[in-house]
A and B are shown apart, each in its own frame.
Chain A
């Protein structure tokens, strides 16, 4: 009876009960007062008692007292199946493919219609699927095994579905899974685990993981570390591991393995040229290796130079030369080689050579032997003719067109004054030179309105502030005249007043792409004044450094300054795995490409490999999911708009990927989960019982039971009887 609780049915509840009780008590006191004159004590006591009982009976009737109790019932609980959909489920041990064993188990369970479970497939993500079609449709393809994420997702969903038990079917190949990470409470359903292949461990040697810096430098040793593993019948204490580069065996070493069959080897590699370098770590395949796909893994190193190599050649010392050299020397990311012509043929040094600190201008060494080693070549007020450099000019043009960069800075020995008209240098310059000529006088360079976002001149956070900053910089003096601007060139700075023959403003800074390289033409020799001549009311010294820093980085294609960039969510994928591409696209003028239709495709690639067409948003951002190519190798995903390539990003596709790399079954973690929740663990599918045996019951609220004992006719009759007797006796004994 302790489950019963009483309730008041009267309107107003406790308040009404109190008010009514006090009123009836007062009524009873009035009645007692009315019988005070009765001389017979027995009569008086009888009337008082009957009156009191009658009033009490009325009170209890009015309160409508009700007794209430909640009842429960045991019902069959829901059952969930959480099925591993990762590629490792396709592997075959001695007893055949794991996925076949799963299909057989599901088919067997489906013949028993007592249980109709909800089903989830999990891999890199978790999603629901149909139970009735599961055996036929089960084809594991996911590139990851995330047991914890899957269980967390299903348990959260299961709270709504009243799951009584969960059956996890997996090979347990998730090295990161830990039972305690689930935070299972007492209310969790029973979790059973079917560890597919748990009774048939794979015989496998594998490169489990590779660790290498994604960025390496020419001539600087880089480390590639490989975690390897040898298990099953192939377990041994040592393992032969090889490093390959460009189809060439670079190194072979022997890894010492611990008691669990795991070990680590490290290879030191020294990239020889910039670009991408693909290294492969390989374990020679044993004949009985059941997973040969994971014996070979690739590491892709983006090889750059530790420091940018810049060649600065100046026709004579001057302040513009001095300030630029100082800036480049201070910049720790630049390895500067500079040559200044300190003495011309006409200069009278009044000293023999051995008293001079002058060296010959090593033209052949610079422009034949080492030209390709420079990232940027700067000609600052330099005329080539006195140094018999005619034969080198085509080499400089070719160097730029192959991907180098070149800057010509103005002065009385630059551009047409330096007799570059008609030379190979003019071919790559963004301007046509024409006849020699210079413009004198001071002016403030103006930034072109449509190119104010270009990183070289974007000195402010937005175009308006950029233009304002340029107006505040100290004035320049003089400029080299040019005859025209080449069609594909971008004029970033121009003279405020002077015009070319065609009426266009005289350019002060022009840039262009020349082949695979970049070229800048700066027709003034006075940018040093931004650093030196700034007074308290102008800006300058920081802007000078920002300007030249951006100039060098843009010329050398610093990825951060490229107008369009895309990236992948990972660097390596399994064949056919999900690959997320995101990025931001801007046009050549650095304006966001809003609502642009972007084609994504792989290189190398064919029509069968997944590409996509995706639209950018208002800010030029894009994001989409692709399928990785079906053949292992190094790839690039390329973004193009209207056939023009804008950006690319490199990634690796491996036969194994991370999914097939480490196949150790985490059965003990699944065992821990089962113990916490009252579930069971089965190694292999042979001894798994019918699904109905794994299902469980749950206790469900069935409703409320109530009764009103004082509402019975007997109690009403008793009340009427008491009130009637009181009335009759009062009349008989002379009371009203």
Chain B
């Protein structure tokens, strides 16, 4: 191919085509303050890469849906005003942690009351320490609202993708647990190490193997993450009557 102004047009076309298939990276016009931000929670004992998982989840959501989350989300603490920067908090942990302060518990209550959504991800996928501490603190904050299994026909499983059951880095239990506040699920607790399935290393390779299902299971885990973000943003939108015939038809179409 002939070079014009020193540029080989064949190579340039390849570059342009590659750019065109990349998702358009639009920045929310009004700035980050009102954009969707998946804030990672810091409860004081390290967050096991929660911020990196939140970044990966934000990236997947941006790539796959019309939602445009901030790609470099921030962190928040339950006992700080920064908690109220975004209604979505990702809480990841693997170790048991000491009881939260009363201020933190009060922050947790207010956050949920005002419309916030919390995704709790047990990175141990079956360990006892983090699980015991999470249940203890949730019981303190919401004594009348126990964690309960989320039914497989809940909107969470069809807020974007049609899913049948939760999976993460591990197969885990066949259900998510959640706390229902009013008419929405405000806290979702996963014991599947959901974030573990998202993580990539600096070179872009997956950090952890997904068992036992391999890459198809990883894809389903990512889809669950996307669905959880879409649920936080749309709540029971997919329960609207207008969606029912489509979803019923697709549910019955061979999946």
Interface size on A, residues (CB 8 A): 57
Given contacts A330-B183, A346-B24, A354-B253, contact A411 B87 (CB under 8 A): no
Inter-chain contact B66/A351, CB cutoff 8 Å: no
Provide the residues of chain A in CB contact with B33, threshold 8 Å.
Answer: 442, 477-478, 526
**Complexed CA–CA distance, A342 and B238 (Å):** 11
Query: Closest A-chain residue to B235, C-beta based?
Result: A326
**Complexed CA–CA distance, A350 and B246 (Å):** 19
Provide the residues of chain B in CB contact with A526, threshold 8 Å.
Answer: 30, 33-34
Provide the residues of chain A in CB contact with B159, threshold 8 Å.
Answer: 357
Q: B63-101, CB under 8 A of A: which get 1 and which 0? A: 111111000000000000100101100000000000000
Inter-chain contact A440/B183, CB cutoff 8 Å: no
**Complexed CA–CA distance, A524 and B250 (Å):** 38
Given contacts A318-B67, A330-B183, A342-B230, contact A357 B161 (CB under 8 A): yes
Provide the residues of chain A in CB contact with B35, threshold 8 Å.
Answer: 318
Inter-chain contact B84/A477, CB cutoff 8 Å: no
**Complexed CA–CA distance, A441 and B33 (Å):** 9
Interface check A44, CB cutoff 8 A:
no
Inter-chain contact B235/A322, CB cutoff 8 Å: yes
Inter-chain contact A325/B23, CB cutoff 8 Å: no
Provide the residues of chain A in CB contact with B116, threshold 8 Å.
Answer: 532
Interface check B160, CB cutoff 8 A:
yes
Inter-chain contact A357/B247, CB cutoff 8 Å: yes
Provide the residues of chain B in CB contact with A354, threshold 8 Å.
Answer: 162, 250, 253-255
CB distance from A343 to the nearest CB of B (A): 6
Query: Quick one: which of B204-255 are within 8 Å of A by CB?
Result: 219, 223, 230, 232-238, 240, 242-243, 246-247, 250, 253-255
B64: contacting residue among A348, A362, A532, CB under 8 A: A348
CB distance from A138 to the nearest CB of B (A): 67
Interface check B114, CB cutoff 8 A:
yes
Inter-chain contact B240/A338, CB cutoff 8 Å: yes
Inter-chain contact A337/B240, CB cutoff 8 Å: yes
Interface check A504, CB cutoff 8 A:
no
Inter-chain contact A350/B64, CB cutoff 8 Å: yes
Q: A298-318, CB under 8 A of B: which get 1 and which 0? A: 000000000000000001111
A533-541, A589-597, A705-713 - interface stretch: A533-541
Q: Chain B interface residue count: which class?
A: 35 or more
Interface check B129, CB cutoff 8 A:
no
CB distance from B191 to the nearest CB of A (A): 24
Provide the residues of chain B in CB contact with A344, threshold 8 Å.
Answer: 66
Given contacts A438-B29, A526-B30, contact A531 B235 (CB under 8 A): no
Interface check A525, CB cutoff 8 A:
yes
Inter-chain contact A534/B31, CB cutoff 8 Å: no
CB distance from A7 to the nearest CB of B (A): 88
Q: Give the one of B23, B66, B238, B243 with max A CB within 10 A.
A: B66
Interface check A6, CB cutoff 8 A:
no
Provide the residues of chain B in CB contact with A531, threshold 8 Å.
Answer: 114-115
B230: contacting residue among A317, A411, A417, A533, CB under 8 A: A317
**Complexed CA–CA distance, A584 and B219 (Å):** 64
**Complexed CA–CA distance, A51 and B116 (Å):** 118
Inter-chain contact A355/B23, CB cutoff 8 Å: no
Interface check B2, CB cutoff 8 A:
no
Interface check B28, CB cutoff 8 A:
yes
Inter-chain contact A347/B64, CB cutoff 8 Å: yes
Query: Quick one: which of A326-384 are within 8 Å of B by CB?
Result: 326, 329-330, 337-344, 346-351, 353-359, 362
Query: Closest A-chain residue to B117, C-beta based?
Result: A322
A316: contacting residue among B63, B66, B81, CB under 8 A: B66
B65: contacting residue among A325, A337, A347, CB under 8 A: A347
Inter-chain contact B115/A532, CB cutoff 8 Å: yes
A residues with CB within 8 A of B: 315-323, 325-326, 329-330, 337-344, 346-351, 353-359, 362, 410-412, 417, 438, 440-442, 477-479, 524-526, 528-529, 531-535, 541
| Inter-chain pairs besides A323-B115, A325-B235, 17 sampled, C-beta below 8 Å | A315-B66, A316-B65, A316-B68, A325-B237, A326-B115, A343-B64, A347-B23, A347-B64, A350-B64, A355-B161, A357-B158, A357-B238, A411-B30, A440-B31, A478-B33, A524-B30, A528-B115
B residues with CB within 8 A of A: 23-24, 26, 28-31, 33-36, 63-68, 81, 84, 86-87, 114-116, 158-162, 183-184, 219, 223, 230, 232-238, 240, 242-243, 246-247, 250, 253-255
- Could you list some 23 contacts between A and B, CB below 8 A? A317-B36, A317-B233, A319-B86, A329-B235, A339-B242, A347-B65, A348-B23, A349-B64, A349-B161, A354-B254, A354-B255, A357-B161, A359-B242, A412-B29, A412-B30, A417-B29, A440-B30, A477-B30, A477-B31, A477-B33, A526-B33, A532-B84, A535-B81
